[in-house]
Structure 1
Amino acid sequence: MLDAVRDDTGQLVGFAKITRDITPRHEAEQTLRQSERRFRLLVQGVTDYAIFMLDLDGRVAEWNTGARRIKGYEAEEIIGQHFSCFYTAEDRATGVPEAAPGAGQDDGPI
């Protein structure tokens, strides 16, 4: 954004622009993106463990290769589905899935 610079009489004498160096912020953002990419590759490469993330509503948000192998769902099938689908109909009827997220919030990961 340019700002007009005027003399004492109000006559336009030029324009001023303030620019700041955002290189450190840009470098930090790139470093974070690279770290996230490496972490995602690491998690996706794990095949002996099912690793998945739920959003705050209990829906599957992330799904790794191990989860696909162990649980049998492709990412496209399960992402967006409520985690209660991993429970039996009997467990769902008695409210077992609803108790699980609360326990994780108090005690750490489930």
Structure 2
Amino acid sequence: MSPTPIGNSVPIDVSLLEDIEQSALQLSAQLDALLSSLQSQLQRAASSTLGSVKVYESSLVGGVCRQVEACVEQTTDLISRCDEMDKDMASIADIAFQIKTIKQAVDILGAAIK
């Protein structure tokens, strides 16, 4: 087709406009397909990231909780043993006094024998 002048304006090549329109439609379709593919890939990446975060949290948080529970149990056990030792050590003062008394008696006896 030949260019058609419109009024006093520049002649327009209608076939060229149709080619440009077809190219624009093709580019639009390709862009839609690309964006759809990109959206799908981003959703898969987000899903994978979420899954790995859940695994990380469950393993890390679970491990930390188990370690804290073990430490609390060990600390409780240590406190109980210290309490028992404290009770056992209370009798040491009485024993030390008795040993001193016996030593003094032995010293007196030793001095009397000489």
TM-score for both structures, normalised by structure 1: 0.33
Q: Which gives a bigger RCO, structure 1 or 2 (Cα 8 Å, sep 6+)?
A: 1
Greater Rg by CA: 2
TM-score for both structures, normalised by structure 2: 0.32
Kindly indicate which of the two structures has a greater share of residues assigned to strand.
Answer: 1
